[in-house]
Amino acid sequence: MSMVSSPAEAVARVAYLSSDVVISVQSSLSKDSDFSQHLHHFASNRAKNHVSRSIPEIQTSRTNADPLLSAYTPLRSGRLVSVTASSSILLTSIPHLYKLAEYPIVLHVSVQQTPYPDFSEISSIRQCGFSFLHSETLQEAQDIALTAHALAIRSGKGVIHYFDPSNSATNGPIALEKKQLVDNLLMIDAMQPFDAQSGDCFALYADDGRIATIPEQEGIQSSSGTISVKPKAQSQSPMRKDIAPSSSSETSSVGSSRRESSTSSGPASSAATTVDPPATRPVTSSDIYKIVTDTWARMKQIVGRSYSPIEYTGPQDADSALLIFGSTGVFVDVLDDDKIPEDLSRVGLITARLYRPWLGSTFVDSIPKSIKHLAVLEQVRRNTTKWGPTFLDVLSSLNPSAGGKSSITLVGYRLGYIEPATARQALRGIFQNLTSAAPIQGLCIGNESGPDQPLPVVEVQQPQVEAAYFKILNQLFGQRLHIANQLGLNNAGISPTIAASPEYGFGSLLARIEHRKRFVLEAQEAARSQEFITEPPRQWLSKWALHADDAQKANDLAPEVISRLSNDGSRAASHLLSLKNLFFKESQWLIGSDAWAYDLGNSGVHHVIASGADINMLIIDSQPYSERAAADAERRKKDIGLYAMNFGNTYVASVAVYSSYTQVLQAMVEADQFEGPSVVVAYLPYHKEDDSALTVLQETKKAVDLGYWPLYRWNPSNEVKGEPTFHLDSERIKQELEDFLRRDNQLTQLMNRFPNFSANLSESYGSEVRKLQKRKAKDAYEQLLEGLYGAPLTILFASDNGNAESLSKRLANRGRARGLKTMVMAMDDYPLEDLGTEENVVFVTSTAGQGEFPQNGRAFWDNVKNAGDLDLSAIHYSVFALGDSHYWPRKEDKIYYNKPGKDLDARLSLLGAKPLRPIGLGDDQDPDGYQTGYADWEAGLWQALSVADVAGLPEEPPPVTNEDIKIESNYLRGTIAQGLQDTSTGAISAADQQLTKFHGTYMQDDRDLRDERKAQGLEPAYSFMIRCRLPGGVATSSQWLQMDAISSDHGNETMKLTTRQTFQFHGVVKTKLRPAMQSINKALMTTIAACGDVNRNVMCSSLPEKSAYHSDVHKVSQKISNHLLPSTTAYHEIWLKDDKTGEKAQVAGPAVVDHEPLYGPTYLPRKFKITIAIPPHNDTDVYAHDIGLIAIKSSETGRLVGFNVLAGGGMGVTHNNKKTYPRTGWMMGYIPVEHIHIVCEKIMLVQRDHGDRKNRKHARLKYTMDDMGNEVFKSKVQELLRPHEIDFEEPRPFRFESNIDAIGWQKDEKGMNHFTFFIENGRVEDTADFPMRTGLKEIAKVHTGEFRLTGNQHLILSNVSDEAKPQIVDLMKKYKLDNTQFSGMRLSSSACVAFPTCGLAMAESERYLPELITKLEGCLEENGLSQDSIVMRMTGCPNGCARPWLAEAAFVGKAYGAYNMYLGGGYHGQRLNKLYRSSIKEDEILEIMRALLARWSRERQADEHFGDWTIRAGIIKETRVGSEFHDDVAEDESDAE
Ligand SMILES: Cc1cc2nc3c(=O)[nH]c(=O)nc-3n(C[C@H](O)[C@H](O)[C@H](O)COP(=O)(O)O)c2cc1C
Ligand code: SF4
């Protein structure tokens, strides 16, 4: 049988069974409290409570996040609430306690051990209006917890049940609470749902006037009868069968508590006007007493255990007694001992089980009349008053005027820590003093400093995630940083909780500031005095004193002053030196949580701002954006930023480290420099403290993007300088907020006018606008159709990637041609309320995720699914579904095939809609894809609508293809220039989106924000990716600096070093596109032809160890790049033209005319990529490109002589489409260096003329060559080369050894140094842990050589002389850039960008691969493989940007969180891999990889690479050529039927 073994467990069980909501207060969200582990355990078992038979909601709250605030909303909606917490929350919760006392809430409080039980928090809040119950043993904890709930329910008032867990540490386990007892005590049968006040609007910090009341007339019955405390109509208590006190107990109960009883409260004036008969009166102390004693009487009947409000144990004729407010355990052990010493045998022990209300008369009645001496022991660490509160309670109870006895001698003691072994001695001491002629009051018994081995102290913990901001503060201010309320600081005599509180910190900072002020005065005086022996101290001191408040200057001068003083030797000098730290000006910070935001009027923020002191506050707000709407309305925070701005004297910044690192730095520096208070409100949203960085990032982005958390800085001191005080740093922000904030001088008036205006404004805005938009669109359509005849046909689609959408639009055209009044819309754009009034509706939906609705149909489906009252009996409908029967290959996943379409069809039918024709299913696996199923379905549809045989249908215009767009574009102009000027949207037109690619930029939208923006009725967060053209990936330091500046001025503060050796910027919004392009041009770089159907950036091995040879080859890459550059002037016209002068700026490169001699007006059928590898390095993956050149050097001179030419490599694939495959380049032969650009040109021209221009999926050179045959292709190239008298020679021998980079230092033949940095997945960014971007920028400022980007996304600092090296090494160390200690797998890995910017991504890649590798590293270590290189690559989709098909192990995104796994690639990039498993998720990936790695470590032969081993071991078949890629796969997708 289950047993209960700790009081926390007993209490957690009872709380869970007796509540609808349990607020579990924990010191940290990642660490369970004694209670929470049990609560979560019950909740995970979905156990129901006894009171409402529902599963209680467990709300977790941090100790310092104002936990009791969460209680109001559930209480007011009539739910039973309990709280489990340590007593450390009580003092800060006092404002709440007074109000919560009038609600039936139970607080179970475990008394803090600091380091021994301290009941001072309990006694401090004893007057807050709650009833207090105390339990000591494990059994009591269970019984009293239950009593507390019964009392709360029946009195309608708050109850605090407190206990010291250490007191019952040695108790054996007890049985579970008895169901019968619980039901009886909680009066389950009798209880009505707690009927709360509703509809009223409460102000949290004003008295909301609730008073628990009972009907005046009703009488109290005895224990077996029903009892009722019936609150007045507005504020009912949960139960209806009432008790009412007898009038005698009413008067007798008051006793001593007249003065002190906290519970009896007169009706507040607001409550006095109730009109509800019968008349009610407030609940009194005696009502509480009655309920409690009645509850215990029932308990005794059922389980035989008895309790009473004041408990006396001991002989009935005792003449001395001990009353303990605290834990009695040690004394009970002595007094209960059979061998009790004679002198202690006539001693009684008194405890107050019911501590509040304190009923004086009950006390007197509960103790034997024989008692003459009473010792009152209070276990509180500090006495704040001369007489302890319990002492005063007892004193007033014994007062004869209150009916007590005056003949008892009363002596107060303070109780410290008592070692069990000394308990007897302590008792003797107490009684000796008590019975002496002149007893001493206020003696302390036991050890004040606690046990030798302190009990574990529950500490407040800094949430891990919040470390980011601390790290930045440390980086910025280093030694100067002083955080006043930092956790873990040693503040003698102060509890960690108090020391961490901002109020404490504020006080200590003020003291610090005063201290330094005095020191500055002293220094000034000393400078004027004659007390120094030498002269310099005086001069330096006066200089220093002049700048003492200027951190920069004071701190620069401080070491000088100190050194002069140290040389002086006078007494004055040594005095100043004894305080030398004060010569430095600190950067002083207070750290607070968003709990500060709830009551600004009383909070630390207010105090600091109002003080005007030069103190910086960092306030971390951690509420996730996605929770803000669901959050408790009462918890809506005040906007600290606006509040502080309103003061006028305060520097204010709103920052978010996961949105803009640079802005955080800026704000902190400005805050530090500002003379006066500064408030930096910092966003760091998390649900749990161990949330992954990705989750925090995504939450931050949503909040910033949607204006919930705008980034701004407000610096009042700018006004003096004539600069704007307000800086808006958010890229996108709601217009209203911007306007609002701009009018900074009118801030107060505006706040008054829009009291609700705060960050939350966007919420209602979004949904209303969205509704309006839907209505408008539909009405406009209807107007359009008004003049038409024919039957109506409404087509609603849901589509993620456009198939279902274009099918629907074409269907609509065809419908119109057949005379139908046709309307076509996305499902989510359609007002659902109109659906029942339609006549004919066709639904076309594709399938997303795992059998899910596409984005633009999700809301529609949710509504249709949940709308119980939707009557569709008047409509006719049909569904066409698009899906892929093998998208999820496992048999059990068959249900996902076309699931949304099938679900919708079934639901419509259930709602009464009549089918026009049965559902049609389109399958990507059919010979013509979804078209196969569609043709048949469409024909049936026309028949059902009786328009099948319409004559004279017009010919359908063919769809616009990329080829059309190119022809129409006038050499790549299109309407790009006009589109850029349109400020009404962040997007450009679809055709221009294709054309801008040729200019090196394309449009993307932030996919982290898609759903949220859509819900708000906003267009997607469009921005642009810009890719530079950088042949061979070589940039100068100044170019690096300029690229860095572009990323922060125009982009998202990061740069991506791509797998094709160039810079890529993300997040460039439309308005910044031209400035960014111009900056790139100023850096003498260009973006032309970095994307699009042209020759792209030409790559070249980075070869750090051979400078001269590298330079030969690199020149060739530049030559080819320039030779194949498009000639159009459109680029210069659109991006670089000076708006004022109309002058076109020139980029570096050949002069241009509007004529494309190489490309012609339609350019190439598809992109075209050229790369050069220098053996033995295949770091550019020479086999993966349209043209791969293998550099051949002269054996005599060691210099470049020519190239082996490969053609027809390529990576792009479409999942499940076997007509697409990756391919390695085919060897055409050797060409001497001087002809190589011509050969590249001719290969490109053959592709230009023979590539497939109809099907873009089949347009790359690899397919042209396979369709034509390699030899035929070669002969066509040869034909074009003949006039130049060039022909292919036999390929020259070469040998590749690896395709990865050697991280670390290398020396070249000229003695120059090169360092290869490991840049994980090419992302150059700053984080709090690793300010890499700043570091590289600092290095670029001093570095005179080059920066070389590698094909593996790393970076080489090239050509560092021995003289320059030490400085570089220092900088590298400072910024942690010298780290080369990574696992072999990590060093050999790469990932494409994927989420959030790549529109084609199906799964995470760059943001996930590092995490996956971390999870594998343990296994690598176990198998001794940490240093072994395994080429592992990941991409978010099968387009293959990170060349996954050549990796030894690859993961290619299939759907969010699911990947296809490939094995068997060649270590040198020479062999393709093959599908091993499809659609697997992380746990499967880890399981498979762990098993494979363990086997490889055991079975591999000397130097055998992982990819080679997987083939030899028979795990995967070898792929020899691309066309074999789909053969013999380990898990054949189509065989999974
Ligand atoms: C990420 C992703 C997940 C998919 N999941 C499924 C699925 O679970 N079941 C299915 O039948 N088809 C699935 N498909 C196939 C698509 O529904 C199908 O390719 C369709 O033609 C896409 O249409 P759309 O462009 O309108 O979105 C999935 C496709 C993608 C890209
Ligand atoms: S591989 Fe796919 S997901 Fe990754 S960047 Fe390329 S297109 Fe995007």
Kindly tell me if the per-residue pLDDT of 218 is higher than 70. no
CA distance 860 to 543: 73
Kindly tell me if the per-residue pLDDT of 219 is higher than 50. no
**Residue 207 CA, ligand 2 centroid: distance in Å:** 59
201 classed as catalytic: no
| Top-confidence range, 31-35, 943-947, 959-963 | 943-947
CB of residue 472 inside a 6 A radius of ligand 2? no
- Closest ligand 2 atom, CA of 1398? 8
**Residue 1267 CA, ligand 1 centroid: distance in Å:** 29
List CB contacts of 611: < 8 A, sequence separation 6 or more. Answer: 506, 510, 677
Set 353, 1392, 1407, 1454: catalytic member: 1392
Query: Looking at residue 1107, what is its pLDDT?
Result: 84
**Residue 190 CA, ligand 2 centroid: distance in Å:** 64
- Write down the residue that tokens 């006549």 correspond to: 839
Query: Looking at residue 1533, what is its pLDDT?
Result: 42
1169 classed as catalytic: yes
Kindly tell me if the per-residue pLDDT of 781 is higher than 80. no
What percentage of the chain exceeds 90 in pLDDT? 48
Q: pLDDT tens digit string along 1236-1251?
A: 999 999 999 999 999 9
Query: Looking at residue 498, what is its pLDDT?
Result: 60
Question: Which stretch of 453-457, 1013-1017, 1035-1039 has the lowest confidence by average pLDDT?
Answer: 453-457
Decide: 998 and 1094 in contact? Cβ < 8 Å.
Answer: yes
**Residue 911 CA, ligand 1 centroid: distance in Å:** 26
Closest ligand, as measured to the CA of 1393: 2
3-class DSSP assignment, residue 1412: helix
CB of residue 26 inside a 6 A radius of ligand 1? no
CB of residue 921 inside a 6 A radius of ligand 1? no
Query: Looking at residue 869, what is its pLDDT?
Result: 80
CB of residue 1304 inside a 6 A radius of ligand 1? no
1027 classed as catalytic: yes
**Residue 1212 CA, ligand 2 centroid: distance in Å:** 10
Nearest to 1009 by CA among 1189, 1228, 1282, 766: 766
Exposed/middle/buried for 1053, CB within 10 Å: 0-12, 13-18, 19+? buried
Q: pLDDT tens digit string along 1359-1400?
A: 999 999 999 999 999 999 999 999 999 999 999 999 999 989
Any idea what DSSP says for residue 542?
H
Query: Looking at residue 1328, what is its pLDDT?
Result: 87
Average pLDDT over residues 1034-1060: 94
Question: Which stretch of 532-546, 680-694, 1121-1135, 1339-1353 has the lowest confidence by average pLDDT?
Answer: 680-694
Nearest to 384 by CA among 121, 163, 160: 121
Question: Which stretch of 368-372, 1111-1115, 1415-1419, 1434-1438 has the lowest confidence by average pLDDT?
Answer: 368-372
Nearest CA to ligand 2 atom 6: 1441
**Residue 897 CA, ligand 1 centroid: distance in Å:** 9
List CB contacts of 106: < 8 A, sequence separation 6 or more. Answer: 15, 18, 19, 81, 82, 83, 145, 148, 149, 152, 158, 159, 160, 161
Q: pLDDT tens digit string along 301-342?
A: 999 999 999 999 888 888 899 999 998 887 888 887 777 777
Nearest to 1026 by CA among 1006, 1007, 1008, 1052: 1052
- Of 79 and 277, the one with more pLDDT: 79
Question: Which stretch of 403-407, 941-945, 1464-1468 has the lowest confidence by average pLDDT?
Answer: 403-407
Kindly tell me if the per-residue pLDDT of 1536 is higher than 60. no
CA distance 1015 to 1023: 19
Query: Looking at residue 724, what is its pLDDT?
Result: 82
DSSP string, 427-479: HHHHHHHHHSSSPPTTEEESBTT--SSPPPPP-----GGGHHHHHHHHHHHGG
Average pLDDT over residues 230-244: 37
CB of residue 1438 inside a 6 A radius of ligand 2? no
Kindly tell me if the per-residue pLDDT of 363 is higher than 80. yes
Q: What is the 3-state secondary structure (H, E, C) of 404-436?
A: CCCCCEEEEEEECECCHHHHHHHHHHHHHHHHC
Average pLDDT over residues 1473-1490: 95
Query: Looking at residue 732, what is its pLDDT?
Result: 61
Kindly tell me if the per-residue pLDDT of 205 is higher than 60. no
CB of residue 1321 inside a 6 A radius of ligand 2? no
Kindly tell me if the per-residue pLDDT of 255 is higher than 50. no
- Closest ligand 1 atom, CA of 847? 17
Question: Which stretch of 222-231, 622-631, 1034-1043, 1315-1324 has the lowest confidence by average pLDDT?
Answer: 222-231
- Of 528 and 407, the one with more pLDDT: 528
Closest ligand, as measured to the CA of 1436: 2
Average pLDDT over residues 346-372: 89
76 classed as catalytic: no
CA distance 714 to 736: 18
Query: Looking at residue 692, what is its pLDDT?
Result: 82
Kindly tell me if the per-residue pLDDT of 1410 is higher than 70. yes
Average pLDDT over residues 1133-1147: 68
CB of residue 1391 inside a 6 A radius of ligand 2? no
How many CB atoms within 10 Å of residue 317?
A: 11
Mean pLDDT score across all residues of the chain: 84
Closest ligand, as measured to the CA of 1438: 2
Query: Looking at residue 207, what is its pLDDT?
Result: 39
Kindly tell me if the per-residue pLDDT of 264 is higher than 60. no
Q: pLDDT tens digit string along 1170-1199?
A: 999 999 999 999 999 999 999 999 999 989
- Closest ligand 1 atom, CA of 802? 25
Set 1262, 1437, 1443, 1477: catalytic member: 1437
444 classed as catalytic: no
CA distance 640 to 653: 10
Query: Looking at residue 342, what is its pLDDT?
Result: 78
Closest ligand, as measured to the CA of 884: 1
- Closest ligand 1 atom, CA of 854? 27
Query: Looking at residue 259, what is its pLDDT?
Result: 31
- Closest ligand 2 atom, CA of 1403? 3
pLDDT-based confidence at residue 978 (cuts at 50, 70, 90): confident
Query: Looking at residue 632, what is its pLDDT?
Result: 52
Decide: 707 and 649 in contact? Cβ < 8 Å.
Answer: no
1167 classed as catalytic: yes
Decide: 1202 and 1114 in contact? Cβ < 8 Å.
Answer: no
Q: pLDDT tens digit string along 148-158?
A: 999 999 888 99
How many CB atoms within 10 Å of residue 771?
A: 12
pLDDT-based confidence at residue 1259 (cuts at 50, 70, 90): very high
CB of residue 1401 inside a 6 A radius of ligand 2? yes
Query: Looking at residue 573, what is its pLDDT?
Result: 92
Kindly tell me if the per-residue pLDDT of 226 is higher than 60. no
Nearest CA to ligand 1 atom 12: 883
Q: pLDDT tens digit string along 826-870?
A: 998 888 889 999 999 999 999 998 899 998 899 899 999 988 788
Q: Which of 801, 1002, 1091, 1400 to mutate to test the pocket of ligand 2 (most atoms within 8 A of CB)?
A: 1400
List CB contacts of 1523: < 8 A, sequence separation 6 or more. Answer: 1221, 1223, 1266
- Of 514 and 743, the one with more pLDDT: 514
890 classed as catalytic: no
CB of residue 800 inside a 6 A radius of ligand 1? yes
Query: Looking at residue 210, what is its pLDDT?
Result: 60
Set 79, 1167, 1471, 1474: catalytic member: 1167
